[in-house]
């Protein structure tokens, strides 16, 4: 619920009822309320090879990280090695982690997404989605006119890096937490985190991601906050000292996050399991609409693959 509140606080305009006037608004829903995602994921898996998944950079990185976390997943080392995983990832990582990119593809293809905004670390997964869309259209020609190959949408700052370690992205799971700015961070916390951001011993402010990754990261952050090109942001910041640079970025972060935090606090201040609350209404309506859309698309897949239609009819009755 807090994630939904955060998304709405950032400006999403959600559907609040199933009426014609609401059709152009954002459909915010719970994926777990739409089981058709898993069904389509299983169908897509039949067109994807083990090698294609095993060579995704995210699999190699995430599976290596999973090795350090106690797991309840069953494993047969000899079988995993024979399957060809020994050189491309941790053979004891879960199947769910391995096939997750296919589930992402199902998330996208179920709704005919035209463009998908991503960070640079997700480009490989979007390329997989594009490949799977072409593959199912080629394998089952009846799907050709019903499967859209999505475009990859990148902005000029597709990845914000960790303030304390700019070799890692700013996230909830990578890099020092002290280098991550949360939407709910107070001005004092933001000031402290930015004040301790990594820089260097060179004079001035210039943009060089290789030689000056810490300074370049701060410039990128400022350009995103002010909606400026990297060049324009660099020119504006070039005469500042590192101390003034951090103060300026702190001010912009506080300015940008203040209205988001105000709205977030409004949405979560009286958050209860009340089915009549605003957040529950938005998620309930969105999940219902998403389920209807997904069922229509899945029916097309079933017909093209020659699968029994009575299964879908029975599912629709149960819902």
Question: Mind listing the pLDDT tens digit for each residue in 179-188?
Answer: 999 999 999 9
Query: With bands split at pLDDT 50, 70 and 90, how would you rate the model's confidence at 143?
Result: very high
Can you give the pLDDT at residue 172? 78
Mean pLDDT across the stretch 11-39? 85
Can you give the pLDDT at residue 118? 87
d(CA 309, CA 315): 10
Mean pLDDT across the stretch 244-266? 96
Reply yes or no on whether the pLDDT at 259 is more than 90. yes
Query: With bands split at pLDDT 50, 70 and 90, how would you rate the model's confidence at 68?
Result: low
Mean pLDDT of the chain: 87
Structure tokens at 32: 């777990």
Mean pLDDT across the stretch 289-300? 94
Q: Across 18-32, 162-176, 205-219, which has the greatest mean pLDDT?
A: 205-219
8 Å CB contact between 221 and 162: no
Query: With bands split at pLDDT 50, 70 and 90, how would you rate the model's confidence at 307?
Result: confident
Angle at 117 between CA 250 and CA 124, to 5 degrees: 110
Per the CATH hierarchy, to which homologous superfamily does domain 177-268 belong?
Answer: Tyrosyl-Transfer RNA Synthetase (1.10.240.10)
Query: With bands split at pLDDT 50, 70 and 90, how would you rate the model's confidence at 85?
Result: low
Can you give the pLDDT at residue 22? 64
Structure tokens at 234: 């660099």
Mean pLDDT across the stretch 144-149? 95
Angle at 68 between CA 62 and CA 71, to 5 degrees: 90
Reply yes or no on whether the pLDDT at 138 is more than 50. yes
CATH topology of domain 32-66+91-154+281-318: Rossmann fold (3.40.50)
Write down the domain spans for the chain.
32-66+91-154+281-318, 177-268
pTM of the model: 0.82
Can you give the pLDDT at residue 28? 94
d(CA 256, CA 183): 10
Can you give the pLDDT at residue 5? 93
Can you give the pLDDT at residue 58? 81
Per-residue three-class SS string for 145-181: CCCCCCEEECCCCCCCECCCCCCCECCCCCCCHHHCC
Question: Mind listing the pLDDT tens digit for each residue in 58-67?
Answer: 887 777 666 6
């Amino acid at each position: 619920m807090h994630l939904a509140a955060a998304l709405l606080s950032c400006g999403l305009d959600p559907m609040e009822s199933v009426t014609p006037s609401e059709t152009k608004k954002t459909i915010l829903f719970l994926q777990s309320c739409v089981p058709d995602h898993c069904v389509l994921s299983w169908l897509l898996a039949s067109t994807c090879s083990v090698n294609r998944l095993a060579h995704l950079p995210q699999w190699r990185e995430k599976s290596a990280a999973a090795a350090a976390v106690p797991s309840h997943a069953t494993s047969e080392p000899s079988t995993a090695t024979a399957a060809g995983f020994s050189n491309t990832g941790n053979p004891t990582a879960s199947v769910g982690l391995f096939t997750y990119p296919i589930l992402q593809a199902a998330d996208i293809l179920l709704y005919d997404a035209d463009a998908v905004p991503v960070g640079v670390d997700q480009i490989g997964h979007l390329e997989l989605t594009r490949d799977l869309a072409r593959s199912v259209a080629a394998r089952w020609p009846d799907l050709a006119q019903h499967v859209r190959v999505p475009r990859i949408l990148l902005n000029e700052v597709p990845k914000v890096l960790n303030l304390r370690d700019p070799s890692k992205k700013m996230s909830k799971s990578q890099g020092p937490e002290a280098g991550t700015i949360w939407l709910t961070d107070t001005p004092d916390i933001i000031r402290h985190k930015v004040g301790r951001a990594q820089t260097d011993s060179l004079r001035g402010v210039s943009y060089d991601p290789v030689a000056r990754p810490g300074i370049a990261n701060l410039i990128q952050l400022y350009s995103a906050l002010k909606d400026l090109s990297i060049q324009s942001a660099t020119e504006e910041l070039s005469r500042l000292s590192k101390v003034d640079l951090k103060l300026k970025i702190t001010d912009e972060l506080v300015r940008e996050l203040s209205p988001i935090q105000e709205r977030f606090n409004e949405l979560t201040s009286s958050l209860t399991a009340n089915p009549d609350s605003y957040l529950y209404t938005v998620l309930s309506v969105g999940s219902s609409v998403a389920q209807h859309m997904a069922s229509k698309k899945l029916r097309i897949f079933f017909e093209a693959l020659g699968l029994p239609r009575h299964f879908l009819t029975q599912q629709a009755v149960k819902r």
